Amino acid sequence: MGFVQRALFTWFIILVFLILLCLRLESRINWNWFIVFIPLWLYDTILITWVVIEIIQRQHANRLISFRHYEYYVAGILLKILSQIAICLKLEYNNIPLYAMMIPIWLLLAMLVVYIGTNLQPKPRSLGSNKSSRQTTAASS
C-alpha cells in the first residue's frame, strides 16, 4: 500500500471516529463509549500487525537485528490503547479519578520526548569535517 493510500485510510478512520464521537456527544446515539472507540482500536490493531510484519521481515533479511527502533513503536501503540481504555472507563463509569486516567497519556508523552531527544541528536562529525569546501580549496591554492 502506498503512502497516499495509507494517509487516506488514516483520515477515513479518524473521520468515522469523529462522526461517532459527535453523535454520542449530541446524545443521538446512546452507545457504550467502548463502541465509539472501535475505529481507533481497529487502526491500532493494523499498526501492531504492521510492526510485527516489519520485525519478521527485517529478522528474515538479517540474522542480527536491533529491536531498539521498534520498541518505541510497540510501547507507543500499547500506551495509546491504554489511554483509550482509561478514557472510555472515565466517560462510561466515572469511577476512576482524573489523575489515574491521565497516567498512560503522561507516560506516552514522556516516552515521546525521550524518543525525539535521542533521535534528533546530531551525529558526531570527524575532526576535519567542520571546514567548508571553500576553506579547503583556498588553503590548497
Residue with grid cell 588553503, as numbered in its chain: 139
Rounded-to-integer distance, Cα 91 and Cα 89, Å: 6
SS3 percent helix, strand, coil of the chain, rounded to 5, is 80, 0, 20
Q: pTM of whole model > 0.75?
A: no
pLDDT value of position 71: 81
pLDDT value of position 72: 82
Rounded-to-integer distance, Cα 100 and Cα 95, Å: 10
Q: Which residues contact 98 (CB under 8 A, 6 or more apart)?
A: 90
pLDDT value of position 74: 83
pLDDT value of position 38: 94
Chain-centre distance of CA 18, in angstroms? 19
Instruction: Tell me the domain boundaries of the chain.
Output: 34-119
pLDDT value of position 23: 95
Mean per-residue pLDDT pooled into runs of 10, the chain (141 residues): 86 95 93 94 90 80 65 86 93 90 93 87 65 53 53
| Sign of torsion over alpha carbons 92, 96, 98, 100 | negative
